[in-house]
Amino acid sequence: MQMDRNELATRNKRTAAILFSIALVFFFGIIAAQAYGSPTVTTVVVGGAVLLFLALAIGRHLRK
């Protein structure tokens, strides 16, 4: 089964958006952790990034 270029480009953009959103969570999470100075914020950020990744990855496969 060979994908056409448009479908491949769409999948690549979707994957890039997922990775970009996770990077944003980490980036702003680090800033928030430094601002609040609490290890709890760091834990929440890492947990949130993992949950975001799982939700997007699992949700993407459920739509197929």
| Mean predicted lDDT score pLDDT of the chain | 81
> 45-59 burial, b if ≥16 CB within 10 A, otherwise e?
beeebeeeeeebeee
Residue range 19-41: mean pLDDT, rounded: 82
Largest pairwise CA distance in the chain: 52
**pLDDT for the residue 64:** 59
Please state the pTM of the whole predicted model.
0.63
Q: Is residue 9's pLDDT more than 60? A: yes
pLDDT in tens, 12-26: 898 888 888 888 888
